[in-house]
Structure 1
Amino acid sequence: MARRRLLMLLKPFDLFPSQHHVTNPKTSQVLSYLDNRRKVHKDAIHFCQNILRQKHVDWETVFRSNLSQPIRDVDLVVTVGGDGTLLQASHFMNDSIPVLGVNSDPTQALEVEEFSEEFDATRSTGYLCAATVSSFELMLDNILEGRTVPSKLSRMSICVNSKLLSTYAVNDVLIAHPCPATVSRFSFRIRKDSHPFSTLVNCRSSGLRVSTAAGSTAAMLSAGGFAMPILSKDLQYMVREPILPGAANSSLMHGVVKSDESMDNVWYCKEGLIYVDGSHVVYSIQHGDTIKLSSRAPVLKVFLPNHLLS
């Protein structure tokens, strides 16, 4: 049997501030917690690498900050970090290579409770990560021996002035003015088969968020949206903090774009930004630009936690 080729993508284990000469007990406690997070993540990397050394695979390691070219010629991508590391990998992947996320530093409920009066001790959520250190070897064996198959997550395509952007969104897209205190002015309508399927909605607000099913439990849910089935091909949109002179269009501020539909937006501010899956991937737009969003994009093959599929 040919040896499998793997790419391991890592969240960097940045050094946190030194605790030397810290006299404030609370500050010292926070720094100790941060240093522990760094150590736990670093130990997880070494653990996963030791597991790979025991398998019939060839592999290489790349820190996610050094990833700049499309990922090719590997059979599997393993990300070690959290959802952010998996999302970073997805931006360089087509629909032919599966990805397995390893949550290297899961939140510990007892720790969160212990420090609840002092600071937020939440660690990594790892919503899309199917493995932790304790389950990594079993999960990897199941993948290599074909006992488990990846799910196909819907992604969102983004076209600006009819030009397709190179990055597909796994979670969501935020379109807003560069200054969060400035009003965003834009219009949108839903189209189906290239024909208008809704009325034109003119907006003044703090921006527009559009999420995939995978992203519907993140910022969208926090803003008052609803969780969608993880394998749904629909998109969900929400106008952020709309300024409404009346209630006529209030029902159109939040809705769904079906898999056979698209959302056409026109931007009416001098400048604007499109954020893709957070703050690391950003595209600039200007007055008069059109932005088309749809779920007609290559899927992402990802091994998901069982509880998301049940």
Structure 2
Amino acid sequence: MPSKSIQFQKVGIMGKPRSQEAAETIKILHDHLVEEGCDIWLQDSLPESLHSKHTQPTSRKEMGKLVDLVVVVGGDGSMLNAGRYLVQHEVPLVGINRGHLGFLTDVRPTEVRERISEVLRGQYNQENRFILHTEVYRNQERIGRSDAVNELVLYPGEIARMLEFELFIDNQFVYSQRSDGLIVSTPTGSTAYALSGGGPIISPKIDAMVLVPMFPHTLSSRPIVIDANSHIEIAISSNNQHYPMVSCDGQVNIGLAPGDIIGIKKHPLPLKILHPESHDYYEVLRTKLGWGQKL
């Protein structure tokens, strides 16, 4: 019989389908959840060898309807993918790091049993992070939409092409720009592509977005931090002779044409991420970015 102290009875597992390291950790996680008496749903694209009589296969799209908690085994990319699917169901996520940086997946593979037991029993810190929702319009008709946990990137789609566009925030004109594109980032994404582009690190506790120009034609163009509840519009200039792209988390791409309008706003629902009680955001920054340690 399952322990009465368990807070999450229905647990989903998502992860990298073709990662041997992730598969090894998923097997350990699976066995531990069985011992805890949990009902387990497994992402159906994971290797057949990971499925058992204790698991029920389901798609990423359906996972959020069935479970109380999702454990993501992989890197930050796996968490970004899971977040876009699960945010609408308000299902909390906890990440086990089998990737590289691990800003979002902060449970070490060697601590799976200990940390997951703690989470199951309510010993965790919950962090609500907002994500972006974008829609693309052509001749006033919506042609595409997606969500982004980290960032939305407007880029030319071709090497050595300059992109022309106009930026509006809350219906106010900000600037016209010729550049390699624009990064619109959440605080979660401020340590990712936006950081590489020269943007600031934004604490996840701050309700803000950052707009980072990519190699602008004028050196006076600089990153802007704005209120997260702002509505952003990017108008692709009809002067462009090529077809740019907009990318969400580097995983979902929408093709654009001259004259298209990109609308970006805060998603109405938060992404719920659970951390071990020992989680320290600034310790993560020190470790991942190589900052100096305490003397």
TM-score (norm 2): 0.79
The structure carrying a bigger strand percent of its residues is 2
For 1:5, the equivalent position in structure 2 comes to: 10
Q: Classify the secondary structure of the residue corresponding to 2:119.
A: helix
8 Å Cα contact 1:6/1:74 also seen in 2: yes
Shift, 1:134, TM fit: 2.2
Residue number among 161, 166, 183 corresponding to 1:187 in the alignment: 166
Which consecutive residues of structure 1, in runs of 5 or more, have no partner in the other structure? 15-37, 106-123
For residues 10-50 of structure 1, the C-alpha deviation after alignment (integer angstroms, 9 at most, x for no partner) is 20235xxxxxxxxxxxxxxxxxxxxxxx4x43322222222
Partners in 2 of 1:47 and 1:68 — Cα distance? 21
Which consecutive residues of structure 2, in runs of 5 or more, have no partner in the other structure? 47-57, 284-295
For 2:202, the equivalent position in structure 1 comes to: 228
Letter in 2 for 1:171: N
Q: 1:102 to 1:51 in 2, by over 3 A?
A: same
For 2:96, the equivalent position in structure 1 comes to: 102
Matches within 5 A, 1:287-298: 287-298=258-269
For residues 203-250 of structure 1, the C-alpha deviation after alignment (integer angstroms, 9 at most, x for no partner) is 111111111000001111122111001132211011101112xx6xx2
Partners in 2 of 1:295 and 1:137 — Cα distance? 35
| RMSD of Structure 2 on Structure 1 (CA) | 2.5
Runs of 4+ in 1 over 6 A off after TM superposition: none
8 Å Cα contact 2:90/2:269 also seen in 1: no
Shift, 1:281, TM fit: 0.8
Matches within 5 A, 1:88-127: 88-93=81-86, 94=88, 96-104=90-98, 124-127=100-103
For 1:111, the equivalent position in structure 2 comes to: none
Aligned pair count reads 257
For 1:50, the equivalent position in structure 2 comes to: 31
Work out the percentage of aligned pairs sharing the same amino acid.
23
Shift, 1:182, TM fit: 1.4
Shift, 1:296, TM fit: 4.3
Letter in 2 for 1:169: A
8 Å Cα contact 2:25/2:109 also seen in 1: yes
8 Å Cα contact 2:124/2:275 also seen in 1: no
Letter in 1 for 2:120: L
For residues 97-145 of structure 1, the C-alpha deviation after alignment (integer angstroms, 9 at most, x for no partner) is 001110025xxxxxxxxxxxxxxxxxx1111013122222222222222
Residue number among 135, 142, 158 corresponding to 1:159 in the alignment: 135
8 Å Cα contact 1:213/1:232 also seen in 2: yes
TM-score (norm 1): 0.75
Q: 1:147 to 1:232 in 2, by over 3 A?
A: same
Q: 1:165 to 1:139 in 2, by over 3 A?
A: farther
